[in-house]
Structure 1
Amino acid sequence: MTDVVSRNGLWAMAHAERASLADDLAELSNEQWSTQSLCGEWTVEEVVAHLTAAANIGRFRWLRSVLGARFDFDKHNARRLAEHRGADPAETLARFRAVITSTTAASGHTAAWLGEVIVHAQDIRRPLGLPRQPSIAATTEVARFYASRNFTVPGLSNIEGLRLEATDGPFRAGTGPTVSGTTIALTMAMAGRPDYCADLSGPGVPTLRDRIVPQAV
């Protein structure tokens, strides 16, 4: 039996992870802001603008935006990203800092929005070689959420028939051939980041790698 983290607790974790990312971003050069992230075609700056957008749009605004894009989620994301990107990286960072303590979200699935922050932070950090990792406690909550359903990412489908075991925390899920690694590596793989399969081991890794379709959560 695992302890249940309250919604307020999950938001506190999201706020802490946003603050940590903002600290990392403050040290970047303009060239680093233009680096391609692990999230599709987006640069570091575009990912940050996307995070700002996600923290600004509630359920009804999100629905209007999606309807306006005729359910083309790439178009929806691109429009909201452009809305919240600054004229330069400094302004983009300032806008992100302004939403660090936001509890606005498109749905009540708070663990998913914590996951949004954790996954996109690593989308930025890994290509730049930044060493900071999210807390194991926060990442464990996201891993459990992703392993339990297909929402924002097809986590449940990706691990069907596999046993995931974290080597640095309490996360365990599923049955079948084992995939083991750090909690963040397992979470990023479930979120559709194939780069992180290199950090995993066990007989289930080839199956997981073959299933991963890159996602833009």
Structure 2
Amino acid sequence: MRTPAAAIWQTVHTERRRLVADLSDLEDAQWRTPSLCPGWDVHDVLAHLVDTARTGRLDFVRGLLAARMNFDRANERGIARQKRHDPKDTLEALTHATSLTRTPPASLETRLVEAIVHGEDVRRPLGIDGTYPEPAIAQALAYQLRTPVAFGGGRERAAGLRLVDRTTSTAWGTGDDVEADVIDLLLAVSGRPVQQNRFAGAGAARLVAAATRTTPDRKARDR
């Protein structure tokens, strides 16, 4: 059953507010902590979230055209646009953007991917435990699995694998089994490094390798 847009936005807005709260007490040096998103530190990810929260369909198209259809270049320009000298000011900007419902011309499920994956991009390196609604994680994972890597998804990373949520036994795909918590499956499919001991099954090593394999323009392609 299709999740109503209002329910997706409610989850996204809640996750934005939770992230603001989690980052509110960071020390200056912590903002420079490398995130799970290749090449970006915690402050960069925060600025990216501000930019995407403020970017609607027309702004997205204009920005992409200005970046000569290069998603990575467009993302870097967005970070430069929204990254304040003081990270606390960037955090304040996200505070004011938490309830916005702007989105690029893509499936609304990309907002779930962004809120959850980028949330873990900063929380895990900082040692902050993140919890997310499991149905939202599963919906984000299903979207990533049907979307090519070139468009911010992870379909190729999971090719030939059967991913199994160890909590609910929900499975996606066919092939060698990879069993894990659904959040770890989502991160790996989205190209994030996850410790192999979090996975079980004959396909575990292959998924971990695919998640950490670098490509020339991999940076931040998950939007």
TM-score interval for Structure 1 and Structure 2 normalised by the shorter chain: over 0.9
Matched, 1:173 2:172: yes
The one-letter code matched in structure 2 to 1:173 is W
Q: Secondary structure at the match of 2:178?
A: strand
Cα offsets for 1:10-43 (capped at 9, x unmatched): 1111111111111101121111111111111111
Measured after TM superposition, the shift of residue 208 of structure 1 is 1.6
| Structure 1: distance between partners of 2:144 and 2:153 | 7
SS across alignment from 2:100: coil
Alignment coverage as a number of residue pairs: 215
The Cα offsets for residues 124-173 of structure 1, whole Å up to 9 and x where unpaired, read as 01111111222212211101111222264342211111110111236420
Shift of 1:87: 2.5
Q: Give the AA of the match of 1:176.
A: G
Distance 1:101 1:126, change over 3 A: same
Verify: 1:131 aligned to 2:129, yes or no: yes
Q: 1:21 to 1:170 in 2, by over 3 A?
A: farther
| Cα displacement (A) at 1:9 | 0.9
Runs of 4+ aligned residues of structure 1 deviating over 3 Å after TM superposition are: none
1:78-109 superposed Cα distances (whole Å, 9 cap, x missing partner): 11111111220110100011111111011241
Partner of 1:146: 144
Question: Is the counterpart of residue 185 in structure 1 residue 184 in structure 2?
Answer: yes
- Please report the TM-score for the alignment, with normalisation by the length of structure 2: 0.90
Shift, 1:196, TM fit: 4.6
Match of 1:96 among 90, 94, 110: 94
Contact 1:153 1:192 in 2 (8 A): no
2:24 alignment partner in structure 1: 26
Match of 2:70 in 1: 72
* Structure 2: segments with no counterpart, 5+ residues: none
CA RMSD of aligned residues (A): 1.6
Q: Distance in 2 between matches of 1:121 and 1:33?
A: 14
2:179 alignment partner, SS class: strand
Structure 2: how far apart are the matches of 1:207 and 1:92?
38
Q: 1:42 to 1:157 in 2, by over 3 A?
A: same
Counterpart residue identity of residue 2, structure 2: V
2:183 maps to amino acid: I
State whether residues 143 and 171 of structure 1, in contact with CA within 8 Å, keep that contact through their aligned partners in structure 2: no
